[in-house]
Amino acid sequence: AQSVTQLGSHVSVSEGALVLLRCNYSSSVPPYLFWYVQYPNQGLQLLLKYTSAATLVKGINGFEAEFKKSETSFHLTKPSAHMSDAAEYFCAVREGGATNKLIFGTGTLLAVQP
Amino acid sequence: DAGITQSPRHKVTETGTPVTLRCHQTENHRYMYWYRQDPGHGLRLIHYSYGVKDTDKGEVSDGYSVSRSKTEDFLLTLESATSSQTSVYFCAITTEGTGELFFGEGSRLTVL
């Protein structure tokens, strides 16, 4: 069965510093992987997705993620944090089969300090 | 904008009362989902639908039922609400293919 583990429920960085949010997955089939962002009191918005094409995926707002099969990882990075990046981030893997169900990690709350 | 509307957006109710949350979509997507979001648990799938009158259970379906009598509406019902069902509920749809989900704005339910 597919699963996702997000290391670190809270991450704090300084404005301008590197953002690194960790995600490891378990999947019995070639995975489709996603990162979503949730701003306070809002729904989830897709940041980026990996669908077995290029292993380095670029998303919105300057974020990118690299799929590493050997490490079963899909970490999210941004070279320089901005105050507006403060939000909760969720990694997800698509469950196998035709139902398109996503299995989510428990989330990482990113704080950006001035 | 994926054309998803959830109602009500906020609701406070008492233990033992029935509650129905509605998800409405405007783009005739086949698949619809109900998730709940709780601190420390991320999002967990309650039920999903793959067509009119076609529904199935997710990982946390106990205490919930769903109905889909027409393509655009997916209803989530708590027959007898409990405090453990206090949560934020999200409806989602998917465009078939890569399986990315598009979410509604959420419905915050408090059960006293």
Q: Please state the φ and ψ torsions of residue A39, each to the nearest 5 degrees.
A: -85, 155
Q: How many interface pairs between A and B have CB atoms less than 8 angstroms apart?
A: 54
Q: Shortest Cα distance from A85 to chain B (angstroms)?
A: 19
Q: Is B45 on the interface with A (CB under 8 A)?
A: yes
DSSP code string of B63-89: T-EEEEEETTEEEEEESS--GGG-EEE
Question: How far apart are alpha carbons A31 and B15 in whole angstroms?
Answer: 41
| Residues B58 and B48: beta-carbon distance below 8 Å | yes
Q: Which of A34, A103, A106, A95 is nearest to A67 (CA)?
A: A34
Are the Cβ atoms of A106 and B100 closer than 8 angstroms? no
Query: If you average pLDDT over every residue of chain A, what do you get?
Result: 93
Give the pLDDT confidence of A37-59 residue by residue, as tens digits. Answer: 999 888 999 999 998 778 899 99
Q: Which amino acid is at B16?
A: G
CB atoms within 10 A of CB B85: 20
| Residues B7 and B106: beta-carbon distance below 8 Å | no
Q: Say whether pLDDT at A31 is over 90.
A: no
Chunked in runs of 10, what are the mean pLDDT values of chain B (112 residues)?
88 97 94 95 95 93 96 96 97 82 95 96
A110 Ramachandran zone, left/alpha/beta (phi>0; psi -120 to 50): beta
Are the Cβ atoms of B105 and A43 closer than 8 angstroms? yes
